[in-house]
Amino acid sequence: MQTLKHRPAAGRNRKRKRPKISRKRLLLAGAAVVLLVMAGRSLLPAMGIKAPGIGGSSEETPSTVVTKAPPAPTIDLNGVMVQGGGSPMITLNPGLVRLGGGVTVQGSGFDQGSMVDVYLGPSTAPGQKAPPSGAPGSKPHQVATAKAGKWGVFTANFTMPNKMTVPVQEVTAQARGSDKVAKADASVAQGAGQATLSAIVGKPGDTINLTVKGFAPGEQLNVYWGRINGDPNLTLKADEGGSVGKTPIRVGVTAVGTTSLVVVGKTSGAAASAPFQVLRLYPSIKLAPYAVKATQKITFSGSGFAPGERVLVRLNAAGGQPVMAISTDDAGVFKGAGLVMPFQLKGAQSLVFTGEQSRAAVSTGFTILPFTPQARTNAYGGLPGTVVNFYATQFAPNEAVHVTVRTAKGATPQLVAAFRVDAKGTARAVGQYTIPGNTEDTVVFQLHGQRSDATATVNFKVDKSGGPVDIPSAKPYVVPKDLEN
């Protein structure tokens, strides 16, 4: 540097006088060159100006290059001038939203990979009144951020503030570093609906009068008991003044205690509620008869349940699979239902009746009576060789009866006959057995019902023959297939 600094000075003295360039000026000139290069690499491309040889790079991504989008073409469609496509656009779901409710923003037409900020603020559409300064929702604020995908599409979600004085809010989607922007209006569901009940205490099924006002003219009104979603308990229609006069309604099924009747306008989103005290249901059951045998039917009637609900019937349990379901009428009553008792039940039993919606429950008991059959032979006694057949009553209807015999004390009973009783549990002169020649004293017959598990016993007196009796031994008895049960 010392050599370069002194050489120009020597030349100036010898030839001609040149202006002196200070070191400070050299430094300023160098800084200007650096700034020029940086401007070529950043500011000029950002303005859409490409400078050859300055800052050019083939590795630049769309996110670092901001270009001004050409105006979208407009066309005449059915007499309306509309954009021909290519412009950013957003849609809101739902467009009519409650305070504190969620909103989904779906956008298209943005640059691939660009970051899009979503803002919420008062609508600037013509006719919209400006909100007071400082009021909730009076200034735009960022509520979400999303990244545009492969086709310039994005989805973002945000929650509408719980406090809002402006009925229409403008949602704006702005791409960072770009002039691409889209807007849409979200209507905030507001209203001053009022609901009045003619009574504030009652049980499900009671009839009371409802009066409603303050809703949109002609809109559908959904009425709920103790909730605000799902299928409404009742639907009404507002008149031209947004009101409903005294209308009889039934108290719906809801939890016992303090609750509310809620009315929601389907179009306006306005809501109104009225407090109500729900009383407990006290259902009752009548059985007839209270004692039955297997195969017999027990009938029951019920009252005090909720109108139009199903009553679930269970045996000896409050939960689990019901054995049947019965629907009540508009007064919460059912009649003439019944069940046929199976053979497996013995002794005391309980039926539990539970309202499917109201959960009101009541139980009642009954008894399964045993079968007590009676039987006799065609003779009370006789000599060896006597042919015996049987008479029976009070067995289960149409059941098979198996006959065993014991010819001596301690002997093993042997199956000797089988028959089937009729629908009244009766049989006459059925079966056949020959008293063996070596039998003395008493033969014991047991007649056992195969379904009822009931047994009748008959004693047959064998007279002394006075000597040996030559009677062939009987072959072992085999029960026919149709008499097994």
> pTM value?
0.55
Residue stretches of the chain with pLDDT short of 50: 1-15, 17, 34, 36-37, 39-40, 42-67
The span from the CA of 15 to the CA of 239, in Å, is 107
The pLDDT assigned to 13 comes to 46
The pLDDT assigned to 373 comes to 97
In one-letter notation, the amino acid at residue 217 is P
Instruction: Tell me whether the omega of the peptide bond preceding residue 19 falls within 30 degrees of 0, making it cis.
Output: no
Q: Which of 358, 319, 333, 336 is nearest to 225 (CA)?
A: 358
The span from the CA of 368 to the CA of 290, in Å, is 9
Four-CA torsion 229, 232, 233, 236, nearest 10 degrees = 140
pLDDT tens digits, one per residue of 247-257: 999 998 888 89
The pLDDT assigned to 377 comes to 96
The pLDDT assigned to 137 comes to 54
The pLDDT assigned to 25 comes to 63
The pLDDT assigned to 345 comes to 92
The pLDDT assigned to 6 comes to 43
The pLDDT assigned to 74 comes to 73
